[in-house]
Structure 1
Amino acid sequence: MSRKDTFLLRMLIFVPICLTLNWLQAEPIFIFTTAGLAIIPLAAWIANFTEAIANEIGPFLGGLLNVTFGNVTEIVVSLVALQRGLIDVVKASLAGSIIANLLIGLGISFLLAGLRFRKYREETNLSRTTVARINSSSLNLAVVFLLTPAALNLTSNTFGLTLTNKFSYVAAFLLLTFYALMLLFSMKTHRYMYELEEDAEPESYGSEARGENYNLWFHMGLLLATSIVLVLVSEALVGSLETSIASLGLTERFIGVIILPIFGAAVEYITCGICALKNKVDLSISVALGSSLQIALFVAPLLVLAGWLMGQPMNLGFDIFTVMALGITVVMTNSVSTDGRSNWLEGVLLLMTYIMLGTAFYLHP
């Protein structure tokens, strides 16, 4: 077992602590904090079990499984929040996940790889620049879809909530269709372009998960059980959210954009760092961009349709400030990730951008 897995195994102690505090109806701020910490190892083990099962059942079914469970943490937390009517928090957490994955994930990767392997001077060659350009263009598409409702509301006095919802339903179907075509492109017609990116999480599993004495049904049971525990922890997290926001004196936007994504994607940042320390910056890019694309093209439209079915007016009508932050993030990411090279200063640039946006969200009323 790797040091990363040992650390995550120890963090599971926060799961019973969180559930116990929630059962005892303790102070909401303590429930919120322990629930957030408990989500970190749960998200990691769900990713581990998913990848192990995917390796066993083949590339096509494995790819579909990764699509379903790749961002299950964000989906579960968002669905629980959506059911409670916390639509603004859901929107903020979706935007925050994209921003954090791109700026923190890639920033850490470029910084660590640049410092360790190129002695502050030389640049790291990145392979598969064509894939990077495709991913960047896909992110641009997602930002366009998110920008359009805000632009319509800004330029029209009559374009209200009803029309925004209708536009979002159409946009959700279009985004899901494009995401399905991306899967066809990456897993079928142009699979050769993605084959070298398969080991995106080195040291995530032991030898048993990779084939020795591997029990498929056992790992499927673990995946299901972990997902159920994640639902319970998410209930505790969301249930304590509103009171915690009031006690901390923070806005829903800041909690959603900055705090929640760090809980849900902390393991991805660790993975990006591990890849960078092994001089596999291209794998870091695959992890960060892949997760962001899943959220923008799959999770967000899925939640729009789920809100439709649940009677909650979830839509793609993000506020202007959040859309601006997403635009800045995508522009900065594209400027450093599509030329096939990276260096430590570009990592600092991305991390500085995240700190700047985090400060702006903290100060925004």
Structure 2
Amino acid sequence: MLGRIFFFILIVGLPLSIIGSLLHWPSLLMFIIYCITIIALANYMGKATESLAIVTGSTIGGLLNATFGNAVELIIAFFALKEGLIEVVLASLTGSVIGNLLLVAGLSFFVGGIKYKRQQFNVYDARHNSGLLMFAIIVAFFIPEIFSMTLSDSKTMVLSIGVSLILIALYLAALFFKLVTHRGVYQHSNQQDHEEVPEWSTQKSLIILVLSTIAVAFVSESLVHTFESVADALSWSELFIGVIIVAIVGNAAEHASAIILAYKNKMDIAVEIAVGSTLQIAMFVAPLLVLISLFFPQSMPLVFTIPELVAMSTAVLLTISIANDGDTNWFEGATLLAAYVIMGIGFYLL
């Protein structure tokens, strides 16, 4: 029944998105249509990811979901960089980090915890990811901000490029570690995915993932052009749009996938999506955007504002303290969600 609803939304929403964009319908109406369409597309990306995870395992399945989902984020940020909206791009990156760690993980723990009193996931992956999160957010993001206070703009940009190259190199090394040299070394899961039969074949899942990502990218790019009008109509600031709205919409696919999988007690892949996507944003997407910005008139240094840094580091520390034991419940999910709401209120007031 739910699948039919999403299918109906998709076959109606996607044409309306194209027609409305060509005919220049009111921005607020198009904003709603775009968001609903992205949610429907996210459902299909979630199903494709689940089928792939059964065949390839939770780590690769989660990585594929995060990669396809973050491709949308990267496309949105690219167009924003092209328009010179540096603050919006940095704010959207901040929103992706706190959104994945607090909103996605929080909703996953909460929704899954309502159905199951206790849910477990790979504790070794959780601890491995904790170190990377600490490095990416607490070290790599703070250093450019602190040093920029005494450095010139040109030297700050050089520092940002250096940090970006190191982040990308370490991220690729982390993938090599998890998928090659230490693949299967740290096994700790009570989920028997290998006994399940995937709903879709690997080929069909990959095709749907690619097509869904292309469709989401188109709708998301159109969505970017409605932000200014919607902000004026609803009295939202650019910072709030970047941190909350752009981040939620840009990562809608991952949000839906992680929550659905958590409800099915597939916590390994749900956590891999939430945390893996955060690491990909912090260690690959953000530094890549710094390097891409060098080709535009206005370069983007890897320098966040103090509220953004505090929000991201707080989200990292809270998530680590909750997830490091490889065990969770609905109350821990509610705690993460409460932190996200508090930060959302703060950014709205800014």
Whether 2:156 is the aligned partner of 1:164: answer yes
Q: Does the 8 Å contact 1:179/1:298 carry over to 2? A: yes
Corresponding residue number in structure 2 for 1:310: 296
Residue aligning to 1:79 = 78
1:264 is aligned to 2:250: yes
Q: Which moves more between the two structures, 350-359 or 102-111? A: 102-111
When structure 1 is superposed on structure 2, of 328-337 and 34-43 the one drifting more is 34-43
For the Cα contact (< 8 Å) 2:69–2:253, is it kept in 1? no
The AA in structure 1 aligned to 2:147 is: L
Corresponding letter in the other structure for 1:107: G
Residue 10 of structure 1 is matched in structure 2 by: 8
Q: Where does residue 174 of structure 1 map in the other structure?
A: 166
| Change beyond 3 A, Cα 1:187–1:280 | same
Give the deviation of 1:245 after TM superposition.
1.7
1:56/1:272 Cα in 2 relative to 1: closer, same or farther (>3 Å)? closer
Q: TM-score, normalised by structure 2?
A: 0.85
Deviations 1:281-336 (A, max 9, x none): 33322221111111111111111111112344122111111111001100110110
Report how far residue 36 of structure 1 moved.
Answer: 2.8
Contact 1:105 1:269 in 2 (8 A): yes
Give the gaps of 5 or more residues in structure 1.
119-123
Whether 2:144 is the aligned partner of 1:149: answer yes
Structure 1 stretch displaced more, 319-328 or 276-285? 276-285
Maintained 8 Å contact 2:108/2:262:
yes
In 2, Cα distance between the equivalents of 1:64 and 1:343?
A: 24
| Contact 2:42–2:256 (CA under 8 A) maintained in structure 1 | no
Equivalent position of 1:254 in the other structure: 240
- Deviations along 1:23-46, one digit per CA (max 9) or x if unpaired, are 112222222332233233334545
The one-letter code sitting in structure 2 at the alignment partner of 1:362 is Y
Task: Check if 1:281 corresponds to 2:267.
Answer: yes
Deviation at 1:58, TM superposition (A): 11
SS in structure 2 at match of 1:313: coil
**8 Å contact from structure 1 (residues 200, 284) kept in 2:** no
- Structure 2 stretches lacking a partner, 5+ long: none
In 2, Cα distance between the equivalents of 1:58 and 1:272?
Answer: 15
Q: Percent identity?
A: 36
What is the distance in 2 between the residues matched to 1:142 and 1:200? Answer: 32
Partner of 1:352: 338
- Matches of 2:119 and 2:44, distance apart in 1: 31
* Contact in 2 for aligned 1:200/1:286 (Cα 8 Å): no
1:247 Cα deviation from its structure 2 partner? 2.2
Q: Counterpart of 2:311?
A: 325
The RMSD of aligned alpha carbons is: 3.3
Between the two proteins, the alignment pairs up a number of residues equal to: 346
Q: In 2, distance between residues paired with 1:200 and 1:327? A: 34
Deviation, 1:15, is 2.1
- Contact 2:63 / 2:277 at 8 angstroms: preserved in 1? no
| Residue type of the alignment partner of 1:11 | I
